[in-house]
């Protein structure tokens, strides 16, 4: 597959996967998801043991394509959510260890992508958030499942129900990221961590990852529950109003229906 949304480089048993549409803030649309799925298969075939996931420009990934979502009906929304959920679950179940190097905006689906990774490092310029509630919808790529596991249900409810943005230090305090470093230090730090992991036994790393994931409880299987609830948002006036208002760059007029 010719990659247009991502760039992939493999060195030994480590890989660097970059979201490579900085002019679009590395939006996670259907094409990006398809390319990510291809890359996951390729990493498996190449026996990669540790992979860094980062973004080019000022965003890690600023979420899904809101303009496209504004045109979706309930059925299309469910299919889109299931696709993202299932691909992100493959990251969680992949034998390689994934290190998210969050360089900038990690919002909505972008944050959910980072949540699916095993370890997260952040630039001091990183910004985190699940702003979907402000659009009249809910997270659709696993955020309602993984965020509570990582920062606790009470804090996760704050993040998801308010739709606020949080800086790197706040994410560190919440336990979401391992470390906050200056922007120029982020990739070298991630590469050093990836190499440290790649020096271990690949099969044993994979077994340890499976065991730890099992201890935290299984994510909603294949995203069925979250996808159904996400799709339900598209049957409400407020869901469509929120998305349209974002596209039209105005404040949504929610009517509680």
As annotated, the active-site residues are 112, 132
Handedness of CA 241, 104, 49, 47 (dihedral sign): positive
Q: Among 85, 121, 119, 87, which residue's Cα sits nearest to residue 213?
A: 119
Q: Output phi, psi for 152, to 5 deg.
A: 95, 150
Q: Output phi, psi for 212, to 5 deg.
A: -65, -45
CA distance 111 to 127: 9
DSSP 75-126: HHHHHHHHHHHHHHHHHHHSSSEEEEEE-SEEETHHHHHHHHSSEEEEETT-
Q: Are 124 and 254 in contact (CB under 8 A)?
A: no
């Amino acid at each position: 597959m010719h990659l247009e949304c991502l760039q992939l480089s493999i060195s030994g048993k480590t890989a660097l996967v970059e979201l490579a549409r900085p002019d679009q803030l590395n939006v996670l649309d259907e094409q990006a998801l398809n390319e990510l799925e291809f890359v996951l298969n390729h990493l498996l075939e190449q026996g990669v043991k540790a992979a860094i996931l980062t973004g080019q420009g000022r965003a890690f990934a600023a979420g899904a394509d809101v303009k496209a979502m504004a045109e979706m009906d309930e059925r299309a929304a469910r299919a889109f959510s299931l696709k993202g959920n299932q691909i992100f679950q493959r990251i969680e179940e992949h034998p390689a260890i994934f290190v998210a190097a969050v360089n900038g905006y990690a919002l909505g689906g972008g944050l959910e992508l980072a949540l699916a990774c095993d370890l997260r490092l952040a630039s001091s310029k990183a910004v985190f958030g699940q702003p979907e509630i402000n659009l009249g919808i809910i997270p659709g790529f696993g955020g309602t499942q993984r965020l509570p596991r990582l920062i606790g249900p009470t804090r996760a409810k704050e993040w998801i129900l308010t739709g606020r943005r949080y800086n790197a230090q706040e994410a560190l305090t919440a336990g979401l990221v391992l470390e906050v470093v200056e922007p120029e230090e982020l990739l070298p730090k991630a590469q050093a961590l990836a190499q440290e992991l790649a020096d271990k036994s690949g099969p044993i790393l994979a077994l340890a990852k499976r065991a730890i994931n099992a201890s935290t409880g299984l994510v909603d299987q294949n995203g069925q529950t979250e996808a159904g609830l996400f799709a339900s948002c598209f049957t409400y006036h407020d869901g469509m109003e929120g998305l349209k208002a974002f596209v039209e760059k105005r404040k949504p007029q929610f009517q509680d229906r």
